Amino acid sequence: MIDDQLFGNTGHLSIRTIFGAAALSNVNQVEADQTLDVLLKYKINHIDTAAGYGESELRIGPWMEKHRNKFFLATKVFRRSYTYI
């Protein structure tokens, strides 16, 4: 059993395994949905994505509409400065 713990100050109880959505960069929606459904099976509730991960954000969106309350979705930007926020 994989432990979970609070994720920073978010209040989200996150499993210690995070799904890296770069794996979805070059798949179609059906394949993405099937892959993301595996997260539910194993109770993985934290997804990490970024605009640089190909089509991942576009693939997560439709699936996430049905499962949003079960996940912490994190995305990254390439500019790491408050100047660009």
Angle between helices 29-41 and 56-67 (to 10 degrees): 50
CA pseudo-torsion sign 53, 57, 58, 62: positive
Q: What is the mean pLDDT of residues 54-64?
A: 94
What does the pLDDT read at residue 45? Answer: 92
- pLDDT exceeds cutoff 80 at 69: yes
Does 20 or 14 have the greater pLDDT score? 20
Q: pLDDT confidence of 84, banded at 50, 70, 90?
A: low
In order of 5, 17, 38, 40, 48, the CA distances from 1 in angstroms are 13, 11, 16, 15, 21
Q: Check: pTM over 0.85? Answer yes or no.
A: no
Q: What is the percent of the chain with per-residue pLDDT over 70, rounded to a whole number?
A: 92
